[in-house]
Amino acid sequence: MAGHDEERHARHSRHTDRSHVAAVTFGILGPVEVRAPGRSPAALPPSVRALLARLVLAAGRVVSVDSLTDALWGEDLPADATNALQIRVSKLRRALGAAGIGGDVLVTRAPGYQLAIPAESVDAHRFEHLVRHARARASTGQVAAALEFLDEALRLWRGPALADVGETQWALAESARLEELRLGSVEDRLELLLEAGRHVEAVADLERSVADNPLRERLHRLLMLGLYRSGRQAEALAAYQALRHHLADELGIDPSPELQALAEAILRQQVPSPPATRPTPSPDPLVPAAPSTDRVTPADPSLHRVAPPIPSTDRVRPAGPSLDGPAPATEPSGTRQPAGPAATSRGGDALPQRLSSVIGRHDDVETALRRLHEARTVTLTGPGGVGKTTLAMEVARRADETLADRVRLVRLAALEPGTDVAETFATQLGLVTDASGTTFADAVVEHLVESRALLVVDNCEHVIDDVAVLVERLVESCPGLTVLATSREALAVPGEIQLAVSPLAVPEETGEATAIPDTPAVQLFLDRARAVRPSFALDSETAPVVASICRRLDGMPLAIELAAARVKALSVTDIAARLKDRFSLLTAGPRTSEARHRTLRATLDWSHDLLSGAERRLLRRLAVFRGGWTLTAAEEVCGFDGIEPGEVLDLLLRLVDRSLVVPDPSTGRFRMLVTVREYAASRLAEAGEAEACRSRFLDHYVRLAEEHGPHVRSGGDSLARLTEEYDNLRAAVDHSLDPAGPDVEAGLRLAGALVWFWNYGLRHEGTRALSALLESGGGAPAARARALQGIGALNVYYPTPRSRAAARQSLTLFEEIGDRHNAAISRLVVAWAGQYGGDAEEYRAMIAQSRAELGDSEDGWWWAITHYLDAFLSLRLGEFDASAAQWRHSRDLLRRTSDRILDSAIAAHLGISLREAGHHAEASAVLREAIEDARRFDSPHGLPFALAHLAHTLLDVGEDDEVPALLAEADEVARRMRNPRCQAWAAWGRARIACGHGDAARAAQECRRALALLEEREFPWARARLWSLMADCAEAAGLPEEAEQARHTALTVDSTPAAALP
């Protein structure tokens, strides 16, 4: 009767749980969550999550102030802990209220606070309640009912318990307790699945659980039983073997006697049948455990001793019990046969059990499987640490009967060069040999000739030639054989398909923050970090840092796993900072992994040691490049002292074959992963060649800049060429300033040639580079004058006192050294920077003088600029019709120089002149043409001007449908280009719209923003008009003093800088 009552209570509880969908629910089985009926989870500030979690754990009970302050701050109590707690409580009440949860939920009650909720509203309570009744059902043999309870319980979990609370002592303890209950429930469920005969489903889940929890013996026991009962005896023994190695290497211990007995029983096929009734699963605090009858109870006393090791997969297999079944009775166990030609097969290696999850490789697995149906030899290639072996093992596990009847594995990583590869194949395939005189290769062929098998050959690169010969023969001689190889270079055998294994995808630097957790590289980091620190979680602070780590590690799985292992002792911010010396940081690989995979440097050492002397030389010299390189660049920079330029192509292709260099066939460029490049750079320094390489690198990019820099104004190939070399050009400037060996003269030549390239959105960077070179004190007078001229030219649209002074200094220097041509250009730069203020007559005279001196020059561009600047001065002075005519003339001249980029900026200013002259229809047409040209020719200057002034032109004539979109785009482009003048015009346009809608306060706000952005960077008439609008808006908004000040400024703007805003 009591049992029936208990069951009714359990089912009522489950009904109650479901009914609470209509009530407030609280969750701690994952991130802390509270949800009101019919609403999304409440947005909880980080500062209140721990407080809520602590109160939820005591649902319905009072928690004292002392307990709460201890939970929140531990020993680091704030000065007034009680007041600080009250502030937290108030924040929590506001958060709950905003989520639609009544204020009576969180109450003040001596000696502290109480969350007045029923225990059933907390997911952790419901979980424990359901598990308790599941175990009760299991103890009486009600398998289906128990599974139903457990499935419902486990569905409550949304992630690690208390995932976003932090690492306080109480949270860690409670999280660990709940996690242990969850794992016990998972184990119970899996054992019940086996009991129910659902072996395939159970094994699939068990493999994942074992990978996530490699030290839980109960999971291994269940996996072995599941595999054995599925008819997979050999795999059951392989699972035991994987655990035995793992325990020995990690902890120095053997599996439990019960597990050893089960392994021997599986080996002898003496595993008892499942019991008729199900006993209680593993002991736990919720239900007393009953003795289990599912463990092996050996009938033979000899089984009570420690079972012999299962045959190893990486040594010569003895002729004893094999993974394929029990040994023949006539063959003594443990007897080793002499080496020689093959006579008998004792099995072959089983695939190792997964001990960790495979992340981000689903598409790669599917591609490899398709290729294996298309070709009989497929080689997975890629750099060390990219995950070739992991991918190959997963492909082999997924191979079905349409591809092969069985899978064989040969591992070559431990093989020393010069060892007989065929003998290694024979040994690892479990061949027992006699002395018939045939070769090991013959024996392997004979063994596989009738097989329909997938042969996985792992880590071929260090014995590539011998492996290629043997694989070619095997594929030719064994019609049912398919080979999947892994190597850092292809085998190059007939019919081979090569699949390059790429690093995992990393988050885009400019991508959405919400996309970070879904990126494979980040998922791998998170998975491995939780293996050493279960509470680790991504949040708004850690997610961008983890994304940066993954990007800096190129998405390389080995490097990411090594970095994630450091989460045990370091914050992700510390890890990111220490990546500057990644080879010292990334050194803690698993003891069970091969030595070359235990540290990042060891992985790269392995690849480096397989190279020839010339290949090593080229690899380290290529480290000088920062943004990839062309073949020509590699020949010029690296072709010296032991490498002839004509040899570079062949050596470079060898490095591509060995997965150390990545080609881009679409551009003809090459690059190295950052980790490989930093390794190569360390080798370059060790070889004492760094200075020579940097010098040749700098010379190459000076020549490139001087070849293409003058033609950038025409756009086209020169602009594209310098853009693709941007990172290398920056590096070249840095090399010229290197304190260890500066070359300021070369740096000044380089920077002087890049001025117009930097003018495309990089003017701040260009100004900094030129200033640093000038401050170094070196360089010839002409080179220094060009640098000063460059600072002025980069800032003509946004002049500063320093840039104006630099332009005048360059003019003086050029006049002193007698360079009339460059003096004329500097004079134009001075006048250009004066377009918004200063002595107009002085500038007009400077323009006329430069036009006279440039009249016989071959540089038609600067001749056209003299007319361009005349138009600017006329526009500044309010001579709108004259400026329109001058814009048209300068536009015609510039088009003869093929400068279509500045052309759109001229069209934009022509539109301004036409608009101010009252020709709105013509202005609108010209501005639309300017927008189209700016987009076509990627003009960073013309587009935002044309967009903003088209918006103002349309506002003038009352056609405002397009205006908001035009202003928004103008603002966005101007912000990206750091163009405050166009941002000001966009704000001015919004002010006009707000004023038209009667929103004086918003109009005044936008006017203030526009004036703050303009300062003195605009024509005086335009500033006066904006101040007048500001006055009107301030007056309408009831701000008479501000209106009066603005009106006064509008009247005096020609002679007075923009007034300080209130």
**Among residues 986, 954, 955, which one has the least CA distance to residue 972?**
986
Is residue 578 within 8 Å of residue 570, measured between CB atoms? yes
Q: What one-letter code names the amino acid at 847? A: I
Say what the pLDDT of residue 336 is: 29
Structural domains of the chain, count: 4
Percent of the chain's residues with pLDDT above 70: 86
| Reduced 3-state DSSP string for 862-912 | HHHHHHHHHHHHHHHCCCHHHHHHHHHHHHHHHHCCCCCHHHHHHHHHHHH
Termini Cα distance of the chain: 83
Is residue 849 within 8 Å of residue 841, measured between CB atoms? no
Lowest mean pLDDT among 270-274, 679-683, 772-776, 902-906: 270-274
**Among residues 1032, 623, 662, 713, which one has the least CA distance to residue 902?**
713
Residue located via tokens 């489950």? 14
Specify whether 150 is located in the same domain as 26.
Answer: yes
Residue 856 falls inside a structural domain: no
Q: Are strands 33-35 and 25-27 parallel, antiparallel or unpaired?
A: antiparallel
Q: Say how far apart CA 338 and CA 433 lie, in whole Å.
A: 7
Say what the pLDDT of residue 587 is: 62
The two tokens of residue 989 are 């346009």
pLDDT at 773 over 80: yes
Lowest mean pLDDT among 333-347, 781-795, 926-940: 333-347
Q: What is the mean pLDDT of residues 781-793?
A: 95
Q: Say how far apart CA 690 and CA 759 lie, in whole Å.
A: 32
Query: What torsion, rounded to 10 degrees, do the Cα atoms 148, 154, 156, 160 define?
Result: 180
Q: What is the mean pLDDT of residues 470-499?
A: 93
pLDDT at 328 over 80: no
Residue located via tokens 């056209």? 864
Between the alpha carbon of residue 806 and those of residues 555, 756, 796, 891, 921, the distances in Å are 45, 17, 11, 28, 42
Omega into 111 within 30° of 0, i.e. cis? yes
Say what the pLDDT of residue 583 is: 67
Residue located via tokens 């992700």? 572
Lowest mean pLDDT among 180-189, 310-319, 437-446, 588-597: 310-319
Q: What is the mean pLDDT of residues 652-664?
A: 89
DSSP state of 940: T
Half-sphere exposure of 243 (CA within 13 A, CB side): 27
Residue 545 falls inside a structural domain: yes
Confidence of residue 288 (pLDDT cuts 50, 70, 90): very low
* 97 phi/psi in degrees, rounded to 5: -65, -40
pLDDT digits (tens, 9 = 90+) for 241-271: 888 888 877 777 888 888 888 888 887 788 8
**Among residues 182, 202, 184, 200, which one has the least CA distance to residue 192?**
202
Is residue 683 within 8 Å of residue 693, measured between CB atoms? no
Residue located via tokens 């008479």? 1040
Q: Which domain holds residue 54?
A: 1-197
pLDDT at 10 over 70: no
Q: Say how far apart CA 641 and CA 885 lie, in whole Å.
A: 62
Confidence of residue 544 (pLDDT cuts 50, 70, 90): very high
Q: Rounded to an integer, what is the distance from CA 429 to the centroid of its chain?
A: 40
Q: What is the mean pLDDT of residues 518-545?
A: 89
Q: Are strands 377-381 and 496-500 parallel, antiparallel or unpaired?
A: parallel
Confidence of residue 276 (pLDDT cuts 50, 70, 90): very low
Confidence of residue 120 (pLDDT cuts 50, 70, 90): confident
pLDDT at 310 over 90: no
Q: Looking at residue 138, which CATH number applies to its domain? A: 1.10.10.10
Q: Say how far apart CA 1020 and CA 714 lie, in whole Å.
A: 32
Specify whether 558 is located in the same domain as 478.
Answer: no
Q: Looking at residue 969, which CATH number applies to its domain? A: 1.25.40.10
Say what the pLDDT of residue 300 is: 31
Say what the pLDDT of residue 715 is: 65
pLDDT at 110 over 60: yes
Specify whether 431 is located in the same domain as 461.
Answer: yes
Single out the residue in 144, 176, 197 at which a domain terminates. 197
Specify whether 403 is located in the same domain as 494.
Answer: yes
Q: Which helix (H) or strand (E) holds 787?
A: helix 781-794
Which carries the bigger pLDDT value, residue 122 or residue 589? 122
pLDDT at 348 over 60: no
Specify whether 165 is located in the same domain as 26.
Answer: yes
Between the alpha carbon of residue 982 and those of residues 757, 879, 884, the distances in Å are 21, 22, 20
Between the alpha carbon of residue 762 and those of residues 107, 181, 766, 940, 979, the distances in Å are 58, 58, 6, 11, 12
Residue 390 falls inside a structural domain: yes
Confidence of residue 406 (pLDDT cuts 50, 70, 90): confident
Residue located via tokens 């009989």? 376
The model carries a pTM of 0.58
Could you tell me which residues are beta bridge partners of residue 671? Answer: 662
How many other C-beta atoms can be found within 10 angstroms of the C-beta atom of residue 957? 12
Specify whether 479 is located in the same domain as 555.
Answer: no
Is residue 955 within 8 Å of residue 992, measured between CB atoms? yes
Say what the pLDDT of residue 103 is: 61
pLDDT digits (tens, 9 = 90+) for 45-54: 877 888 888 8
Q: Are strands 453-458 and 482-487 parallel, antiparallel or unpaired?
A: parallel
pLDDT digits (tens, 9 = 90+) for 180-209: 899 999 999 999 998 888 888 888 888 888
Residue 622 falls inside a structural domain: no
Q: Say how far apart CA 853 and CA 433 lie, in whole Å.
A: 95
* 1011 phi/psi in degrees, rounded to 5: -65, -40
Q: Where are the alpha helices (DSSP H) in 896-979?
A: 901-916, 920-937, 942-956, 963-976
Say what the pLDDT of residue 343 is: 30
Q: Which residues contact 427 (CB under 8 A, 6 or more apart)?
A: 315, 316, 317
Single out the residue in 600, 628, 647 at which a domain terminates. 600
pLDDT digits (tens, 9 = 90+) for 825-841: 999 999 998 877 778 89
Residue 365 falls inside a structural domain: yes
Say what the pLDDT of residue 283 is: 41
Which carries the bigger pLDDT value, residue 432 or residue 701? 701
Q: What is the mean pLDDT of residues 352-366?
A: 81
Residue 231, phi-psi category: left (phi > 0), alpha (psi -120 to 50), beta (remainder):
left
pLDDT digits (tens, 9 = 90+) for 23-40: 788 899 988 888 877 777
Confidence of residue 1016 (pLDDT cuts 50, 70, 90): low
Q: Which residues contact 932 (CB under 8 A, 6 or more apart)?
A: none
Q: What is the mean pLDDT of residues 4-14?
A: 41
Q: Say how far apart CA 131 and CA 36 lie, in whole Å.
A: 26
Single out the residue in 430, 465, 500 at which a domain terminates. 500
Say what the pLDDT of residue 247 is: 80
Q: Which residues contact 744 (CB under 8 A, 6 or more apart)?
A: 736, 737, 773, 776, 777, 778, 779
Half-sphere exposure of 1044 (CA within 13 A, CB side): 3
Q: Say how far apart CA 725 and CA 720 lie, in whole Å.
A: 9
Is residue 249 within 8 Å of residue 259, measured between CB atoms? no
Specify whether 30 is located in the same domain as 102.
Answer: yes
Confidence of residue 883 (pLDDT cuts 50, 70, 90): very high
Say what the pLDDT of residue 22 is: 40
Q: Say how far apart CA 351 and CA 848 lie, in whole Å.
A: 84
Confidence of residue 275 (pLDDT cuts 50, 70, 90): low
Specify whether 463 is located in the same domain as 536.
Answer: no
Q: Say how far apart CA 390 and CA 524 lie, in whole Å.
A: 13
Specify whether 518 is located in the same domain as 492.
Answer: no
The two tokens of residue 125 are 């309570």
The two tokens of residue 523 are 């998922």
Q: What is the mean pLDDT of residues 1028-1054?
A: 87
User: Is the CA virtual torsion 870, 876, 879, 881 positive or negative?
Assistant: positive
Residue 1045 falls inside a structural domain: no
Q: What is the mean pLDDT of residues 976-982?
A: 82
pLDDT at 632 over 90: yes
Query: What torsion, rounded to 10 degrees, do the Cα atoms 331, 332, 337, 341 define?
Result: 10
Residue 243 falls inside a structural domain: no
Specify whether 456 is located in the same domain as 520.
Answer: no
pLDDT at 747 over 90: yes
Q: What is the mean pLDDT of residues 726-747?
A: 90
Residue 387, phi-psi category: left (phi > 0), alpha (psi -120 to 50), beta (remainder):
left
Say what the pLDDT of residue 693 is: 95
Q: Looking at residue 362, which CATH number applies to its domain? A: 3.40.50.300
Residue 126 falls inside a structural domain: yes
Q: Which residues contact 193 (CB under 8 A, 6 or more apart)?
A: 147, 199, 201, 202, 205
Say what the pLDDT of residue 350 is: 55
Q: Say how far apart CA 555 and CA 563 lie, in whole Å.
A: 11
Q: What is the mean pLDDT of residues 342-346?
A: 32
Specify whether 461 is located in the same domain as 551.
Answer: no
Between the alpha carbon of residue 612 and those of residues 46, 654, 676, 687, the distances in Å are 56, 10, 17, 15
pLDDT at 866 over 80: yes
Specify whether 438 is located in the same domain as 560.
Answer: no
Confidence of residue 432 (pLDDT cuts 50, 70, 90): low
Q: What is the DSSP string of 692-707?
A: HHHHHHHHHHHHHHHH
Say what the pLDDT of residue 291 is: 33
Average pLDDT, the chain: 82
Q: Say how far apart CA 257 and CA 382 lie, in whole Å.
A: 43
